């Protein structure tokens, strides 16, 4: 099976007291093993809701009202992500399906050292690695360009870019099949953004993970993605190879999106 | 015409540009030490301020207790001896009442700080007030300390769970009970406990701190008796205290549930129990440690009445007796001791905090 | 007018706040009409006069809650005492809120050394046990009036209001709309009154409710020790009376239970208002609060 | 006419705990001059923590610099006489970053416009005031009936930010200090906003100090640009020159970090940004920032 994830007819609504608001409207999407898939769209397009639904982190008043999400972790039997619950879901998490949140959000526990936040997830899913932790954590940190001593630090002692890198290292700690990254470069300074984008590309090379990168920034997709899916008002309007999407957009909305990118009169090196 | 106030300027920022001194550089490299020093400095200021407030408060009180005392003394002398100015002056001196207010203050503070001397107690003359107070201090520290800590632990744990499981029946019951009862004075519960367990059922004693037939000392019988007699007064503090900690912990817990790091912990596939203890509880009990310190003075206030109700031989009872007898050195002394104990407890908690919460040392 | 709609909107958003306010309103109503109620109970004579009736009557149709050791009607006493307890809450609540608000605004807005001094002073009063000071004060100042007791209690309860409001002022004064007011030539006092104060109303409400709670509690405490103001009966005094005369053992339980129940109800109502306001106005609680 | 706004050697330090000497220097010896005529657009571009917002507060008189001075018409703005102060306030007006927080949630949005009318005595009657307000709203392409009488939360971010422009339009200051005014707006709305600023320059002769982290908006606006990092201005010049021939390594780094929206122009080289150097100062990264972190 070459697909890690097969989304079919996914529907998500948010119930409000003025009726239901449909945030995701019947999405069909395959994620190929080993690729970097970009999900593009403006704010309110439903791309973050899609990510949250796939990660099974959707909270009330949001609710999945239809569709299936077949997940094919290596060495395990395929499951419908929307139908697993409790312990089964918990075991699947991180070792197979992992999450890279926005670094500027407070995703790291403020009162735990960085290394503790590696340890708890590793020990939860791979207790056999207890003895190798002392070597594993510095190696993971090194992979994203951080020194070992960062492990001894607390989140408030790190800059936004460093936090993002720590989150990246934790995300791949158990070599998951799929990492869903939600706006991984947003709210970072441009110079840091570039470093983060480079490290994300490295993750695929070094760990062979499949990455699904959600971003409103078309520049991110142009630099990083193999394929791009464009969302608009809860629908997928276009999915295709990154070159095709940028050079020859099929959907008028995609075209508009690409045209609205502010351009500098200077070519990036 | 000159300018009126130029536009208000953000204020908490320093304008001076003093050269970097060695001390400041050292402190900036040792934030923990800097924190401790700053905190201890604040403690000394608070202690001095509170003792000063208490002193002047009592000396400047309307109704002038001093005058009343002098009158009482004078009356006594008429029976005992000639009301000579000399004798009155001597008593005034002994009680620290000679000279003007400032002199009195300086003498009082000097004696207090250098010798721990609070002046003689009036009712137990010539026993010094500190001796009277020190007799009752252990009882209060034991009763109040143990019950306050128990209430805190119970309240924080139950409150955290109530927040965590909000929407569930148990949580709703705990929450609403707390809302109804958390501001009820301790002695209300004490009264009800006395009524039910002491009068109606006759199970537990309603007065005193131990069985007077048992000799005080380190013996099982005595300790058992202390526990038995302390149960009802202690319980009344624990019950109400727990409710109020439940409420405030729950209020702290609920915003934490919306924090990104909890979503992240869930995405990590950690067990629920682990998320509750390592992520949620760990972030919400820390502010409660500071709150515990601040609540101590308040708990002491309530405790005065509880002790009074149970004739518990602690500071509260000593205080009320002293007030009824106009024993002003003892009154002021009890207040001073209470101030000292509470401020010191708060200081110790605050110094402990950086060891538990890595963020503290950077706080202002 | 707009204030009113804002208030109504707030109340609609919180069942807890609404419940608290309704209970409070009922209690206040009873207190307001207490002279009439007492009159009705007496039916021409004063039911709280000494030896108005036989003493120690058990509750019945004649005397809903029985009579006390002096033959006074307990129901009438409780109604009147409720009014007194609410009065002390209102007096001390208003004084400490006003003082607290002023201190909080001066400290929070002016900042610098003024803030340091005021905050340290507030901090001292917050932490030190003030009850000894309070009881001593009432012991020495004999024959104090209810108002004086209210003032005395306020001396110790304003720091709570000051502390809550100061932290809000600190967070509000850096808001961009304050900057905008400054570049529109608004003066400090104008900014405080028109930009900050309206947004602080709920916190001022919380401060008031807390101070009122503290004052009622404080007065009851004084009565328990027998140091209350002269000439008035408050709920605490009835309880003190019940304990002192051993009413419990005489079967006159209403003298003991009813005032405690009423006070508990009052505390609960004020507390609900407190918590309701906090939940409605704390954006971090708003999203997820409510059961 | 007082037609100059000048920063001369402005330095701004803040107290901070846990740093080497107890201070962080947010703005370090910054000097530049803005001229009212000819009207110009000067962009100040820098990353978070570079000190650019502090400069805005200095210029607006909201924060008194630790050293150096802000001069309006040659006089220190913190030492103006009353009439000079009035003129300065009238002549230097801001547009802030956050279109949500700029409105006091307690009041209707038109209050900020009425305040401007009253405080700066723009009209003597209510009718004249209303007419002025409606004109200005139309000038920023807002329908008066759609915004007047509304509460802030009933309007979109773009609408709110344009009300602030309407306020500027009414006051006709010589200088607009715009601190990241478009960073919280969507791309489409952002373009609108920038066009209005350009209009103001052309039609009403207003000079704008445009503070931003985003080089692409700088490019769109044109004019002059100053690049700031670590509190110091490291490069300045016409936008075209700076963008095409950057001389300072930091400007080059900034330009190189903008992801090109073309999959055929991916980065081939790597850059190193040493965030770890901050750790060596023993500096807690998130607590030294004197300003609240921007969203």
Mean pLDDT of all residues in A9-24: 86
- H-helix or E-strand containing C126? helix C112-127
Domain of B258, CATH number, reads: 1.10.3720.10
Query: Do B157 and B102 sit in the same domain of this protein?
Result: no
Is A154 contained in some domain?
Answer: no
> Please, where are the H alpha helices in B81-100?
85-94
The reply to whether B197 and B299 lie within a common domain is yes
Higher pLDDT, C177 or B192: C177
Q: Is the dihedral of CA D151, D155, D158, D163 positive or negative?
A: negative
Which two structure tokens, joined as six digits, stand for A204? 């695929």
Shortest CA gap B92–chain A (Å): 58
CA-based nearest distance A146→chain D, Å: 8
Is a pLDDT exceeding 80 seen at residue C154?
yes
Lowest mean pLDDT among B88-97, B132-141, B265-274: B88-97
A85 assigned to some structural domain? yes
Q: Which residue of B has its CA nearest to D85?
A: B3
Q: DSSP letters of A19-75?
A: EEEEEEEEEEEEEETT-EEEEE--TTSSHHHHHHHHTT---TTEEEEEEEEEE--TT
Question: Are D267 and A269 within 8 A, CB to CB?
Answer: yes
Q: How confident is the model at residue D283 (pLDDT cuts 50, 70, 90)?
A: very low
| Position with higher pLDDT, C66 vs A226 | A226
**pLDDT tens, B277-334?**
999 998 888 889 988 988 888 888 888 888 888 888 889 888 888 887 777 788 888 8
pLDDT of residue B267: 93
Strand A235-241 relative to strand A227-232, pairing: antiparallel
Other CB atoms within 10 Å distance of the CB of residue C228: 24
Distance from CA of B363 to the nearest CA of A (A): 12
Does B13 reach chain D within 8 Å, measured CB to CB?
Answer: yes
Confidence of residue B125 (pLDDT cuts 50, 70, 90): low
Residues in chain C closer than 8 A to D103 (CB atoms): 177
Kindly report, residue by residue over D52-70, the tens digit of the pLDDT.
999 999 999 999 999 999 9
| Predicted pLDDT of residue B153 | 95
The pLDDT-based confidence of B66 (bands split at 50, 70, 90) is low
Q: C271 vs B183: CB contact, 8 Å cut-off? A: yes
User: Could B362 and D13 be called an inter-chain contact, meaning their C-beta atoms sit closer than 8 Å?
Assistant: no
- Mutation target to probe the B interface, by most B beta carbons within 10 A, among D11, D17, D26, D92 is D17
Q: Are residues B149 and B269 in the same domain?
A: yes
Of A57, A108, A154, the CB nearest to B266: A57
Task: Output the pLDDT for position A30.
Answer: 94
Answer whether residue D176 shows pLDDT above 90.
yes
More confident of the two residues C207 and B10? C207
Q: Is the pLDDT of residue A261 over 80?
A: no
| B346 and B201 both lie in a single domain | yes
Is the pLDDT score of D237 beyond 70? yes
Q: Are residues B83 and B147 in the same domain?
A: no
Mean pLDDT, rounded, for A239-263: 88
- My answer on whether B194 and B337 are in the same domain is yes
State residue A159's pLDDT score: 84
Query: Quick one: B267 and B313 in the same domain?
Result: yes
At D294, the pLDDT band (50, 70, 90 cuts) reads very low
Q: What is the pLDDT of residue D260?
A: 84
Interface B:D, Cβ pairs < 8 A: 73
Flag whether pLDDT at D277 surpasses 90. no
Query: Residue B70 pLDDT > 70, yes or no?
Result: no
DSSP string covering B258-312, please? TSHHHHHHHHTT--HHHIIIIIIIHHHHHHHHHHHHHHHHHHHHHHHHHHHHHT-
Residue D211 has pLDDT above 90, yes or no: yes
B39 touches chain D (CB under 8 A): no
Which CATH number goes with the domain that contains A184? 3.40.50.300
Between C141-155, C172-186, D77-91, D236-250, the lowest mean confidence (pLDDT) is in C141-155
A144-168 pLDDT, tens digit per residue, is 888 899 999 999 888 888 899 999 9
pLDDT value of position D20: 62
State pLDDT tens for residues A208-218: 899 999 998 88
List, for residues C27-52, the tens digit of each pLDDT value: 999 989 888 888 877 776 777 777 66
Task: Say yes or no: domain C1-285 is CATH 3.40.50.1000.
Answer: no
- Examine the predicted complex and report whether its ipTM is higher than 0.90: no
Q: What percent of chain A has pLDDT over 90?
A: 55
Judge: C176–D115 Cβ closer than 8 Å, yes or no: no
Residue C53 has pLDDT above 60, yes or no: yes
Mean of per-residue pLDDT scores for chain B: 80
A195 and D272 in contact by Cβ < 8 A?
yes
pLDDT classification of A222: cutoffs 50, 70, 90: very high
Q: Is residue B134 part of a domain?
A: yes
pLDDT of residue D129: 92
The reply to whether B15 falls in a domain is no
**Are B59 and B194 part of one and the same domain?**
no
The region of weakest confidence among C271-275, D39-43, D276-280 is D276-280
Per CB-CB distance under 8 Å, the chain D contacts of C180 are 94, 96, 102, 112
Q: B233 is in which domain, residue-wise?
A: 130-356
Say if the Cβ atoms of C270 and B45 lie within 8 Å. no
| Predicted confidence (pLDDT) at residue C253 exceeds the cutoff of 70 | yes
Q: Mind telling me how many Å the CA of D105 is from chain C's nearest CA?
A: 8
Are B145 and B254 in a shared domain? yes
Q: Is residue A160 part of a domain?
A: no
Evaluate if residue B4 carries a pLDDT over 80.
Answer: no
Of B63, B85, B115, which one is at a domain's C-terminal end?
B115
- Residues of B within 8 A of C248 (CB-CB) are 195, 199
Report residue B211's pLDDT band, with 50, 70 and 90 as the boundaries: confident
Geometric angle at alpha carbon B111, from B107 and B117, rounded to 5°: 135
Confidence of residue B194 (pLDDT cuts 50, 70, 90): confident
Angstroms from A246 CA to nearest CA on chain D: 7
Instruction: Select, from the ranges B229-243, C109-123, C141-155, the one with the highest average predicted confidence (pLDDT).
Output: B229-243
Helical segments of chain D, H only: 52-59, 82-91, 110-119, 126-139, 144-147, 157-171, 187-204, 215-221, 239-244, 249-256, 276-280
- Average pLDDT (D73-94) is 91
> Which helix (H) or strand (E) element contains residue D32?
strand D23-35
What residues of D are in contact with residue B27 (Cβ under 8 Å)? 22
Residue B195, both tokens: 């009524």
Judged against a pLDDT cut of 50, whether residue A241 lies above it is answered with: yes
Cβ contacts from C onto D, under 8 A:
51
- Calpha distance B142→B267 (Å, rounded): 46
Asked whether residue B224 is assigned to any structural domain, the reply reads yes
Question: Is B62 domain-assigned?
Answer: yes
Q: Quick one: which of B64, B345, B339, B44 has its CA closest to C130?
A: B339
Residue D71 in this model has a pLDDT that exceeds 90: yes
Mean pLDDT, residues C65-82:
81
Q: Among the ranges C93-107, C212-226, C272-286, D260-274, which has the highest mean pLDDT value?
A: C93-107
If pLDDT is split at 50, 70 and 90, which confidence band does C203 have? Answer: confident
Residue B21 within a domain: no
Looking at the domain assignment, is residue B226 inside a domain?
yes
Does B188 lie in the same domain as B44? no
What average pLDDT does the structure give for chain A? 89
Of C6, C179, C198, the CB nearest to D96: C179
Average pLDDT rounded to a whole number, residues B143-149 = 92
Asked whether the beta carbons of residue A190 and residue D285 sit closer than 8 angstroms, the reply is no
Indicate whether B270 pLDDT > 50. yes
Question: Which carries the bigger pLDDT value, residue C283 or residue D11?
Answer: D11
Q: Please report the pLDDT score of residue C173 as a whole number.
A: 84
- CA dist list (Å): B288 to C163, C285, D18: 17, 17, 25
B195 and B96 in a common domain: no
Is pLDDT at D79 greater than 70 in this prediction? Answer: yes
Span A66-80, average pLDDT: 90
Whether the predicted pLDDT of A46 surpasses 70:
yes
Number of domains in chain B: 2
User: Are B282 and A156 inside 8 Å of each other by CB?
Assistant: no
Q: How far apart are CA C179 and CA C166, in angstroms?
A: 19
Residues B170, B60 within the same domain = no
End-of-domain residue from the set B74, B90, B115: B115
Give the number of domains in chain A.
1
Average pLDDT over residues C61-70: 72
Q: Which of A106, C283, D294 is nearest to B259 (CA)?
A: A106
pLDDT at A269 over 60: no
Higher pLDDT, C22 or B96: C22
Q: Does residue B3 belong to any structural domain of this protein?
A: no
Strand partners, A14: A21, A62
Architecture of domain D4-98+177-259+269-276: 3-Layer(aba) Sandwich (3.40)
Query: For A76-86, what is each residue's pLDDT tens digit?
Result: 889 999 998 88
Indicate yes or no: CB of B269 within 8 angstroms of CB of A109: no
pLDDT of residue C250 exceeding 80: no
Q: Measured between alpha carbons, how far is D225 from D239 in angstroms, rounded to an integer?
A: 5
Q: Is B257 on the interface with A (CB under 8 A)?
A: no
Cβ B151 vs Cβ B245: under 8 Å: yes
User: Are C109 and C258 spatial neighbours (Cβ–Cβ below 8 Å)?
Assistant: no
Residue B77 has pLDDT above 60, yes or no: no
D288 pLDDT band, cuts 50/70/90, is: very low
pLDDT for res A137: 94
Mutate to test the interface with C, among B6, B8, B48 (most CBs of C within 10 A): B8
Q: What is the pLDDT of residues B334-344, one digit of tens each?
A: 888 888 988 99
* CB contact (8 A) between residue A269 and residue D269: yes
Contact indicator for C199, C137 with CB cutoff of 8 Å: no
């Amino acid at each position: 099976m070459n697909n890690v994830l097969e989304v079919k007819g996914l529907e998500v609504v948010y119930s409000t007291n003025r009726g239901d608001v449909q945030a995701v409207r019947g999405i069909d999407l395959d994620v190929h093993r080993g690729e970097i898939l970009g999900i593009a769209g403006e704010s309110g397009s439903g791309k973050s809701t899609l990510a949250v639904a796939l990660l099974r982190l959707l909270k009330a008043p949001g609710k999945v009202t239809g569709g299936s999400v077949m997940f094919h972790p290596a060495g395990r039997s395929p499951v419908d992500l929307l139908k697993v619950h409790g312990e089964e879901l918990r075991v699947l998490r991180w070792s197979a399906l992992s999450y890279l949140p926005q670094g500027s959000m407070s995703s790291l526990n403020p009162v735990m050292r960085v290394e503790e936040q590696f340890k708890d997830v590793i020990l939860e899913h791979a207790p056999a690695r207890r003895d190798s932790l002392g070597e594993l954590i510095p190696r993971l940190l090194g992979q994203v360009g951080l020194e070992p001593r960062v492990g001894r630090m607390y989140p408030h002692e790190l800059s936004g870019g460093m936090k993002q890198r720590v989150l990246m290292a934790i995300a791949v700690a158990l070599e998951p099949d799929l990492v869903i990254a939600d706006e991984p470069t947003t709210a970072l300074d441009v110079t840091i953004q570039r470093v983060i984008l480079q490290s994300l590309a490295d993750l695929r090379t070094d760990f062979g993970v499949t990455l699904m990168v959600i971003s409103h920034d078309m520049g991110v997709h142009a630099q990083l993605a193999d394929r791009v899916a464009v969302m608009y008002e809860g629908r997928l309007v276009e999915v295709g190879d990154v070159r095709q999407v940028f050079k020859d957009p099929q959907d008028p909305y995609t075209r508009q999106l690409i045209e609205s990118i502010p351009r500098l009169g200077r070519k990036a090196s | 015409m000159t300018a009126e106030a130029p536009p208000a300027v953000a204020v908490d920022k320093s304008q001076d540009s003093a050269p970097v001194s060695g001390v400041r550089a050292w402190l900036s490299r040792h934030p923990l030490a800097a924190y401790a020093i700053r905190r201890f400095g604040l403690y000394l200021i608070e202690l001095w301020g509170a003792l000063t407030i208490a002193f002047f408060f009592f000396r400047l009180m309307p109704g002038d207790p001093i005058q009343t005392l002098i009158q009482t003394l004078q009356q006594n002398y008429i029976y005992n001896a000639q009301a000579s100015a000399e004798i009155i002056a001597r008593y005034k001196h002994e009680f620290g009442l000679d000279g003007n207010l400032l002199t009195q203050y300086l003498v009082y503070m000097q004696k207090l700080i250098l010798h721990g001397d609070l002046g003689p107690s009036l009712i137990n003359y010539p026993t010094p007030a500190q001796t009277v107070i020190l007799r009752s201090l252990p009882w209060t520290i034991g009763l109040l300390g143990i019950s306050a800590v128990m209430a805190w632990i119970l309240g924080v744990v139950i409150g955290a769970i109530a927040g965590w499981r909000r929407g569930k029946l148990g949580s709703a019951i705990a929450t609403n009970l707390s809302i109804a009862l958390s501001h009820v004075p301790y002695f209300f519960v004490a009264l009800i406990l006395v009524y039910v367990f002491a009068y109606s059922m006759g199970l537990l004693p309603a007065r005193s701190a131990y069985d007077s037939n048992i000799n005080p000392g380190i013996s099982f019988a005595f300790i058992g008796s202390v526990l038995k007699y302390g149960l009802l007064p202690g319980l009344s503090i624990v019950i109400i205290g727990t409710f109020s900690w439940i409420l405030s912990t729950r209020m702290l817990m609920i915003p934490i549930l919306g924090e990104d790091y909890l979503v992240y912990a869930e995405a990590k596939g950690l067990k629920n129990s682990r998320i509750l203890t390592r992520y949620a509880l760990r972030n919400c009990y820390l502010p409660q440690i500071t709150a515990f310190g601040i609540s101590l003075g308040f708990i002491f206030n309530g405790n005065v009445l509880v002790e009074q109700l149970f004739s518990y031989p602690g500071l509260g009872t000593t205080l009320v007796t002293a007030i009824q007898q106009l024993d002003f050195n003892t009154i002021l002394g009890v207040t001073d001791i209470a101030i000292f104990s509470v401020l010191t407890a708060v200081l110790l908690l605050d110094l402990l905090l950086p060891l538990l919460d890595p963020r503290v040392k950077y706080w202002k | 007018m707009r204030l009113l709609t804002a208030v109504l909107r707030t109340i609609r958003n919180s069942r807890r706040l609404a419940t608290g306010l309704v209970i409070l309103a009922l209690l206040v109503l009873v207190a307001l009409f207490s002279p009439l109620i007492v009159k009705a109970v007496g039916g021409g004579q004063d039911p709280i006069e000494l030896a108005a009736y036989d003493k120690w009557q058990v509750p019945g149709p004649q005397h809903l809650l029985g009579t006390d050791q002096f033959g006074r009607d307990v129901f009438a006493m409780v109604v009147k005492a409720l009014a007194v307890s609410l009065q002390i809450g209102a007096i001390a609540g208003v004084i400490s809120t006003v003082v607290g608000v002023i201190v909080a605004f001066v400290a929070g807005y002016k900042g610098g050394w003024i803030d340091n001094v005021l905050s340290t002073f507030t901090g001292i009063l917050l932490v030190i046990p003030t009850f000894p000071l309070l009881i001593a004060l009432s012991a020495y100042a004999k024959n104090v009036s209810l108002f004086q007791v209210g003032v005395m209690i306020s001396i110790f309860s304003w720091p709570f209001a000051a502390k809550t409001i100061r932290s809000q002022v600190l967070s509000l004064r850096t808001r961009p709309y304050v900057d905008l007011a400054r570049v529109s030539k608004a003066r400090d006092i104008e900014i405080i009154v028109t930009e900050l104060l309206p947004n602080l109303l709920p916190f001022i409400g919380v401060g008031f409710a807390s101070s009122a709670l503290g004052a009622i509690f404080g007065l009851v405490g004084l009565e328990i020790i027998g140091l209350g103001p002269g000439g008035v009966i408050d709920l605490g005094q009835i309880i003190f009376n019940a304990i002192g005369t051993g009413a419990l053992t005489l079967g006159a339980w209403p003298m003991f239970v009813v005032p405690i129940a009423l006070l508990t109800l009052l505390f609960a109502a004020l507390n609900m208002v407190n918590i309701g306001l906090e939940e409605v106005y704390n954006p971090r609680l708003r999203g997820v609060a409510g059961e | 006419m007082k037609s100059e706004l000048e920063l001369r050697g402005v330095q701004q330090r803040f107290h901070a705990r846990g740093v080497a000497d107890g201070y962080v220097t947010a703005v370090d010896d910054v000097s530049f001059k803005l001229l009212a005529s000819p009207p110009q657009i000067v962009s100040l571009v820098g990353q978070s923590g570079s000190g650019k917002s502090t400069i805005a507060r200095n210029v607006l008189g909201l924060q008194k610099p630790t050293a150096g001075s802000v001069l309006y018409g040659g006089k220190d703005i913190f030492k103006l006489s009353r009439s000079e102060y009035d003129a300065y306030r009238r002549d230097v007006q801001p547009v802030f970053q956050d279109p949500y927080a700029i409105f006091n949630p307690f009041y209707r949005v038109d209050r900020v416009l009425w305040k401007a009318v009253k405080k700066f005595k723009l009209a003597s009657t209510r009718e004249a005031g209303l007419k002025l307000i409606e004109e200005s709203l139309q000038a920023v392409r807002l329908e008066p009936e759609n915004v007047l009488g509304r509460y802030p939360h009933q309007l979109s971010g773009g609408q709110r930010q344009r009300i602030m422009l309407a306020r500027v339009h009414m006051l006709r200051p010589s200088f607009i200090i715009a601190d990241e005014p478009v960073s919280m707006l969507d791309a489409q709305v952002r373009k609108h906003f920038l066009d209005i600023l350009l209009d103001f320059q052309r039609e009403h002769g207003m000079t704008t100090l445009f503070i931003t982290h985003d080089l692409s908006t700088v490019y769109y606006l044109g004019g002059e640009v100053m690049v700031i990092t670590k509190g110091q201005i490291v490069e300045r010049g016409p936008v075209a020159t700076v963008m095409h021939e950057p001389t300072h390594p930091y400007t080059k780094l900034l330009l190189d970090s903008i992801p090109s929206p073309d999959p055929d122009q991916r980065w081939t080289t790597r850059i190193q940004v040493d965030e770890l150097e901050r750790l060596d100062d023993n500096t807690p990264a998130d607590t030294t920032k004197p300003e609240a972190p921007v969203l």
